[in-house]
């Protein structure tokens, strides 16, 4: 038996990157996977390849969420796993500077609309479909939801709010006896298309940037989408049935310490 056999799983932003890897893994472990995304052609072909389902869904649009949840309820009668994964930094969308001094109100609100409103709407409508039979909601935060990111301040703020909202959802569902667990993921430096705008314009620039970033990661390399997909598999399965309201860091050790920590010198005694 697969680890999520016969479960119905919905993934937002499932057409590429972490969402795509997770869709493939959950399907290989027995789930029926519903992929949603704004990238329609890519999403449809992924869904076909795993015998899943695709719905176009802009996570910031409440009306579209209502339609997707209604359709899933009608077709499957339940939802077991909801991975609120879709998110943007704001660089690809050409929203202008993202630092606290120069970011526009419009850009700030847009990033929050997709990241935070998207996760909020997913939880709100996910609860409505899950509350009779129970389920697992996994919200995509980031290491940036735990520490400040000067050059991507709206992203960091939105991810911090997702981290907190996850705990409110977890406690609310527990209080109401819904048997819905809700946890947040905090990846750092996972090599996906999200990074493309930050890795230069040529292959050699890209390799140079990846080497530079890797040198700041305790494990010495960037993560891959499957590193996060396995965490979703665990939190979506019954193996994690006693786990709710946690934040799971997947970052090669970045958040374990500080680069400003004192180094041990051979001249130091004791």
Catalytic residue among 125, 155, 172, 178: 155
The verdict on 183 binding ligand NAP (CB under 6 A) reads no
The verdict on 114 binding ligand NAP (CB under 6 A) reads yes
| CA 69 centroid distance within chain | 19
CB of 37 to ligand NAP, least distance (A): 5
Burial track 97-113 (b if 16+ CB lie within 10 A, e otherwise): ebeeeebeeebbebbbb
The verdict on 46 binding ligand NAP (CB under 6 A) reads no
Pick the binder of ligand NAP from 88, 149, 169, 229 (CB under 6 A). 88
155 is catalytic: yes
Residues paired with 187 in a beta bridge: 250
The verdict on 189 binding ligand NAP (CB under 6 A) reads yes
3-state helix vs strand vs coil in the chain, percent to 5:
45, 15, 40
Pick the binder of ligand NAP from 190, 229, 233, 248 (CB under 6 A). 190
74 Cβ neighbours under 8 A, 6+ residues apart: none
Angle of helix 17-28 versus helix 40-49 axis, rounded to 10: 20
The verdict on 121 binding ligand NAP (CB under 6 A) reads no
Three-state SS for 217? coil
CB of 144 to ligand NAP, least distance (A): 7
Catalytic residue set: 155
The site for ligand NAP (CB under 6 A) is made up of 12-13, 15-19, 37-39, 57-60, 85-88, 114, 140, 142, 187-190, 192-194
């Amino acid at each position: 038996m697969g680890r999520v056999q016969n479960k119905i799983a919905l993934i937002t932003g499932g057409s590429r990157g972490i969402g795509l890897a997770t869709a493939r893994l959950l399907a290989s472990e027995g789930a029926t996977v519903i992929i949603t995304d704004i990238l329609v052609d890519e999403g449809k072909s992924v869904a076909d390849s795993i015998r899943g389902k695709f719905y176009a869904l802009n996570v910031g649009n409440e009306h579209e969420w209502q339609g997707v949840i209604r359709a899933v309820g009608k077709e499957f009668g339940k939802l077991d796993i909801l991975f609120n994964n879709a998110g943007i930094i704001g660089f690809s969308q050409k929203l202008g500077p993202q630092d606290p001094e120069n970011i526009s109100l419009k850009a700030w609100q847009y990033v929050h609309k997709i990241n935070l409103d998207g996760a909020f709407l997913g939880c709100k409508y996910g609860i409505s479909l899950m509350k009779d039979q129970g389920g697992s909601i996994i919200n995509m935060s980031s290491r940036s939801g735990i520490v400040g990111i000067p050059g991507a301040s709206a992203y960091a703020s939105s991810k911090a709010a997702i981290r907190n909202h996850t705990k409110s959802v977890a406690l609310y569902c527990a209080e109401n006896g819904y048997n819905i667990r809700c946890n947040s993921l905090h990846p750092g430096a996972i090599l996906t298309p999200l990074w493309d705008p930050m890795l230069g314009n040529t292959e050699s620039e890209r390799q140079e940037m990846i080497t530079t970033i890797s040198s700041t990661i305790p494990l010495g390399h960037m993560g891959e989408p499957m590193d996060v997909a396995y965490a979703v598999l665990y939190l979506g399965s019954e193996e994690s049935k006693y786990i709710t309201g946690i934040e799971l860091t997947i970052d090669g050790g970045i958040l374990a310490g500080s680069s400003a920590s004192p180094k041990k010198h051979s001249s130091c005694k004791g």
